Chain A
């Protein structure tokens, strides 16, 4: 498996509190992504990064921010968590050498907002 680790794996938080999820990779891949997975919706892109300090919004970015200060780390922050952000969050990486576009996923973080 690609070297990609998410932390924490599980978290329960209260409505209105800030939450930060971390994605760490050891593959030196250029691109990193945050997805959320909800029943009936597949995986939806929240934010992505194409390099250090280079990030952009995905399909469902409202209420989320990201930062990438190092190649290996991509942080997802919920500024003020809401119940609608209860979900499973997956980080992914891609951008190995040449034309390789395969995306590898982390183990996921199950977030519950109560």
Chain B
């Protein structure tokens, strides 16, 4: 089955700096790659996603890039703010029921 690895597990940045989180996947049939943000005690919420026919997608301060040949995708957050502090999960979707395989998460801390 699919295996998703995520790095780093923790990341601290100064407010205003950029943050990058990287994920690799194993199943070349995966075709949908979402990123979720989870605040403490809350449910995961989708922040951005990308499909396999697209190389990059941006939404304000957040961007995701996908390299299908290398089987890796990355989340980029620019001009970080304290409210960006949370756990971020990458995931890859494959299978007839679009089930998601998640990375192990990155705890992002934005220092004021």
A interface vs B, CB < 8 Å? 31, 33, 35, 40-45, 48-50, 56, 58-59, 90, 92, 94-95, 99, 101-108
Check B98 against A31 for contact (C-beta < 8 Å): yes
For the complex, give the distance between the alpha carbons of A9 and B46 in Å. Answer: 21
Q: Chain B contacts of A102 at CB under 8 A?
A: 34, 46, 49
Give the number of A-B contacts (CB < 8 Å). Answer: 57
B interface vs A, CB < 8 Å? 1, 6, 32, 34, 42-46, 49, 51, 89, 93, 96-105
Check A48 against B97 for contact (C-beta < 8 Å): yes
Can you list 20 A-B contacts (CB < 8 A)? A31-B99, A33-B99, A33-B100, A40-B104, A41-B104, A42-B6, A42-B89, A42-B104, A42-B105, A43-B44, A43-B89, A43-B102, A44-B102, A48-B99, A56-B97, A92-B100, A101-B49, A102-B46, A104-B46, A105-B44
